Each structure stands twice: as structure tokens, then as C-alpha cells.
């Protein structure tokens, strides 16, 4: 190998090794120093990416758990309200099946909306009260 080549493999007719701009090698840096520096930089980047993946996995599992709990509360609440409505409708009109079905349907819809929106409304109300008392 009598030719001097740059880091990207192209020959230089004007002698001497040039620096490689896309690799980030400095002009005064030897190849060994460059490789050691890049190894250290890449290990830091990999550690950061692993930490980010761990945080995102934890966040995702927490969100899945909260979603599952919200679904469970919604199903339990709607079932309870539907049973309550069925009991009330059955005691008021035991022969009328249409009243029973209509009462259970309306109770389920209203109960689902209340169960979903009530925690948000209570949190908003408590924030308003805290702001009002703080002034």
C-alpha cells in the first residue's frame, strides 16, 4: 500500500491523510484515539437509550394498569346501576317488560357517563376550590 487514502476510502493525490467529516474524526486525532472516543460516546448513547426504553416500558405498563382499572370500574358501576334500575322498574311495573328494558338501558347510559366523567369533574372542582382559597 503505497497510496495514502482518506478514511472514506478515496485516494488523495496531494499526500497525507485527510479527516473524515461524516465520521466526526478530528484532524489531529489518530485512528485509535478516534475509535476509543467513539466507543465511549456510543456506550453513553446506548446507556441513555436503555434508560429511555426502561422508562417508556414502565410508563406503558402503568397506563395499561390504569386503563384496566378504569374499564373494571366502568363495568362494575354500569352493572350495579343496571341492576338497581331493573329492581326499581320491576317493583314499579312488574308486568311491563318494555319499562324494565328501557329503565335498564337509560340507567346504564347515564351511569356510564357519570362514572367516566365524575372523577374528572371532581378533580376540576377541587382545583378550582384550591385556587379560590389560595387567593
pTM for this prediction: 0.45
What is the band of 2 on the pLDDT scale with cuts at 50, 70, 90?
very low
Measured CA to CA, the distance from residue 28 to residue 78 in angstroms comes to 72
Span 12-36, pLDDT tens digits = 444 455 555 566 788 888 989 999 9
Span 101-113, pLDDT tens digits = 777 777 777 777 7
% of the chain beyond a pLDDT of 70: 82
Span 54-75, pLDDT tens digits = 999 999 999 988 888 877 777 7
Dihedral angle computed from the Cα positions of residues 6, 7, 9 and 15, in that order, rounded to the nearest 10 degrees: 10
* pLDDT tops 90 at residue 52: yes
Give the best-scoring range by mean pLDDT among 55-64, 77-86, 107-116, 122-131: 55-64
Whether the CB-CB separation of 4 and 12 falls below 8 Å is answered with yes
Measured CA to CA, the distance from residue 135 to residue 133 in angstroms comes to 6
Between 98 and 16, residue with greater pLDDT: 98
Amino acid at each position: 500500500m503505497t497510496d495514502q487514502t482518506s478514511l472514506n476510502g478515496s485516494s488523495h493525490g496531494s499526500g497525507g491523510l485527510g479527516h473524515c467529516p461524516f465520521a466526526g474524526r478530528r484532524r489531529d486525532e489518530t485512528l485509535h484515539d478516534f475509535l476509543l472516543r467513539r466507543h465511549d460516546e456510543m456506550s453513553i448513547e446506548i446507556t441513555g437509550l436503555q434508560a429511555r426504553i426502561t422508562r417508556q416500558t414502565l410508563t406503558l405498563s402503568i397506563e395499561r394498569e390504569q386503563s384496566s382499572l378504569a374499564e373494571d370500574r366502568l363495568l362494575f358501576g354500569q352493572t350495579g346501576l343496571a341492576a338497581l334500575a331493573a329492581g326499581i322498574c320491576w317493583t314499579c311495573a312488574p308486568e311491563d317488560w318494555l319499562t324494565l328494558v328501557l329503565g335498564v338501558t337509560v340507567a346504564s347510559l347515564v351511569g356510564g357517563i357519570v362514572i367516566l366523567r365524575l372523577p374528572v369533574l371532581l378533580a376540576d372542582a377541587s382545583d378550582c376550590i384550591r385556587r379560590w382559597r389560595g387567593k
